Amino acid sequence: MEDLGGLIEINDPEIDPVRIMEEIRQRIRRRREELGYPLPIFPTFGSAAYPGEPEGEDYDIELYFHLRRANQTYHQVSVEAFIVPSPRSSIPILGPLWDRIRREAHNLVLFYVNKLAQRQVAVNRHLVSTLNRMAVQIQEQQRRIKALEEEVRKLREGS
């Protein structure tokens, strides 16, 4: 019986949910490559890359889901112009001038918002890198705890 974080309970020994999820992820990656989706760029120097789900061990599925999503989206912060047509645009001579003033005002705001967004991406990168490292350390601590518990159990049985 396999318990996937309380979401699904599978009682068929021939079904391996970890293998199925990995196959789904591989097919998604292949399909994105076929369609020309840009690959996410993760900095390698000074940051910790997404560690991936631990293989052959129990792990918190929800934690790794959110960690994977954070790694995929931390850099998506820019803002694009969205100017709604104005009824004033149809006024002769002044309409085109009004449109140009609105467009330039929007561009000025976007310039400063996107400069701030660039700084936020740097902060996000550091936060996601920290979470990646913490996830790796927590998983390692869990392995050590299990090993120590097993050692204590053996020592108690030997007494």
For residue range 86-145, what is the model confidence (pLDDT) as tens digits?
888 888 888 888 888 988 999 999 999 988 988 898 899 889 989 999 998 998 999 999
Please check whether residue 145 is in contact with residue 84, taking contact to mean a CB–CB distance below 8 angstroms.
Answer: no
Neighbours of 104 (CB within 10 A): 10
Q: What is the CA radius of gyration of the chain?
A: 25
For tokens 């293989």, the residue is: 55
Structural domain containing residue 51:
40-158
146 in a structural domain: yes
Q: What is the pLDDT of residues 50-71, one digit of tens each?
A: 888 888 778 888 888 999 999 8
27 in a structural domain: no
Query: What token pair was written down for 77?
Result: 């912060």
127 in a structural domain: yes
111 in a structural domain: yes
110 in a structural domain: yes
102 in a structural domain: yes
119 in a structural domain: yes
Look at the chain and report how many structural domains it folds into: 1
Question: The whole model's pTM is what?
Answer: 0.55
